[in-house]
C-alpha cells in the first residue's frame, strides 16, 4: 500500500472502523463467556481444561496477552519477555508457562505477518532483503530452538539470560545512537543475532524480539520491515520449539494456552495499523527505547 504522494503520509487504511467493531465484539464475546463460566461452570461452554482456573484468572491472562501482544506486534518485541514473568507472578507452573507462551506466539506471529503484509508495512513478495532475512532467521531458528530445548536442564538459565540481556542492551543503545543514520544492510549481523535469539527463545520463552528486531535495524533494515519480519521468524522459532518439546514428552496446558492465544490474536489488527502510521524515525527510536527497557527487565529478572 503506497504512501500518499501529495502529503507524504501513509495512505488511509481500508476497514479501520471495522477493526474497532471486530475488537469490540470480540471483547464482548470473551467477557460473556467468562461471565457464564463464573456463574454456571457446570454448563462447560469453555474447554474442560480451563475449569481449573477462575473467571478472574482467565480474564487477567486474556488481558495480559492482549496488551503484551499489542506492544510486540507494534514494536517487534515484548510478548514473551514481559508476559512470562507476569504469568509466574500469577502463580502458574513455570514448566507450563513457556510452551503455552510459544503456542500463543505461533498463532499471533502468523496472524501479524499476514496483517503487516496486508497493511503495507512490508512486502514479502517483492522485497528481496525482507524475504531473504525472514528465510534466514527462520532457518537459524531450527538449530537454535532445538539445541536450547535439549540443553534446557543442563545450562544456567539465569546466567545465560544476564549475558543475552547485556547484548540486547548494547543493541538498543546502538539503535538509538543511529536513529538519524541510514545503515548499510549486513547479512552477517542477521546471522549472529538470529542464532543467539533463537537459542534464548527455545530456552526461556522470551528475549527473541528485542534482539532480532533491534538487530535488524542496526543491520540496515527499515524498522517497519524489522517488526514484520520478527513476527514471521518468531512464529517459526515457536513452531520448532513446540515440536521439540512435544518430541521430548513435555505436556501442554491448553487451559492456559487458549486464553493467551485469544487475547494475543485480538490485538494484532490494531498493532499493525499502529506500525503503518508511525513515522520511520519514531519507529526506530521506539524500537531502541523498548529494547533497552526489556534488557533492563531481563537484567532485573536474571539477578533476582
Sorted by where each begins, the domain ranges of the chain are 16-303
Instruction: State the chain's mean pLDDT as an integer.
Output: 77
Residue 224 has pLDDT above 50, yes or no: yes
Q: Are 255 and 102 in contact (CB under 8 A)?
A: no
Q: What percent of the chain has a predicted confidence (pLDDT) above 70?
A: 77
d(CA 289, CA 118) in angstroms, rounded, equals 27
H/E stretch holding 82 reads: helix 79-90
- pTM exceeding 0.95: no
Q: Are 212 and 76 in contact (CB under 8 A)?
A: yes
Mean pLDDT along residues 267-291: 83
Q: How many CB atoms lie within 10 A of CB 181?
A: 8
83-141, pLDDT tens digit by residue? Answer: 877 887 777 877 788 888 889 989 999 999 999 988 888 888 888 888 888 888 888 87
Coil vs helix vs strand at 3: strand
d(CA 244, CA 199) in angstroms, rounded, equals 13
Residue 4 has pLDDT above 50, yes or no: no
Q: Which residue has the higher pLDDT, 255 or 50?
A: 255
d(CA 252, CA 202) in angstroms, rounded, equals 15
H/E stretch holding 225 reads: helix 223-247
C-alpha cell at 198: 533463537
pLDDT of residue 47: 62
- Assign 6 a pLDDT band (cuts: 50, 70, 90): very low
189-223, pLDDT tens digit by residue? Answer: 788 778 777 777 666 656 677 888 888 887 778 88
Of 39-43, 45-49, 104-108, 227-231, which range is least confident?
Answer: 45-49
Amino acid at each position: 500500500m503506497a504512501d500518499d504522494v501529495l502529503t507524504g503520509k501513509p495512505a488511509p487504511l481500508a476497514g479501520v472502523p471495522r477493526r474497532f467493531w471486530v475488537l469490540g465484539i470480540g471483547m464482548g464475546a470473551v467477557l460473556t463467556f467468562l461471565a457464564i463460566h463464573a456463574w454456571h461452570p457446570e454448563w462447560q461452554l469453555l474447554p474442560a481444561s480451563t475449569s481449573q482456573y477462575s473467571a478472574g484468572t482467565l480474564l487477567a491472562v486474556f488481558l495480559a496477552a492482549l496488551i503484551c501482544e499489542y506492544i510486540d506486534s507494534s514494536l517487534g518485541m515484548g510478548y514473551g519477555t514481559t508476559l512470562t514473568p507476569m504469568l509466574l507472578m500469577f502463580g502458574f507452573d513455570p514448566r507450563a508457562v513457556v510452551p503455552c507462551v510459544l503456542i500463543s506466539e505461533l498463532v499471533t506471529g502468523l496472524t501479524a505477518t499476514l496483517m503487516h503484509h496486508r497493511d503495507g508495512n512490508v512486502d514479502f513478495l517483492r522485497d528481496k532483503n525482507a524475504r531473504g532475512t525472514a528465510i534466514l532467521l527462520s532457518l537459524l531458528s531450527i538449530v537454535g530452538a532445538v539445541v536450547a530445548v535439549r540443553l534446557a536442564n543442563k545450562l544456567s538459565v539465569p546466567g545465560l539470560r544476564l549475558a543475552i540481556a547485556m547484548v540486547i542492551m548494547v543493541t538498543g543503545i546502538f539503535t538509538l545512537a543511529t536513529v538519524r543514520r541510514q545503515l548499510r544492510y549486513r547479512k552477517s549481523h542477521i546471522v549472529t543475532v538470529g542464532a543467539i535469539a533463537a537459542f534464548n527463545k527455545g530456552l526461556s520463552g522470551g528475549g527473541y524480539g528485542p534482539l532480532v528486531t533491534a538487530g535488524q535495524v542496526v543491520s540496515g533494515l527499515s524498522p517497519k520491515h524489522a517488526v514484520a519480519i520478527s513476527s514471521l521468524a518468531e512464529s517459526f522459532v515457536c513452531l520448532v520449539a513446540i515440536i521439540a518439546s512435544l518430541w521430548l514428552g513435555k505436556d501442554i496446558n491448553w487451559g492456559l494456552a487458549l486464553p493467551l492465544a485469544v487475547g494475543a490474536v485480538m490485538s494484532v489488527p490494531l498493532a499493525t495499523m499502529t506500525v503503518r502510521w508511525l513515522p520511520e524515525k519514531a519507529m526506530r527510536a521506539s524500537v531502541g527505547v523498548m529494547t533497552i527497557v526489556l534488557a533492563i527487565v531481563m537484567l532485573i529478572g536474571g539477578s533476582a
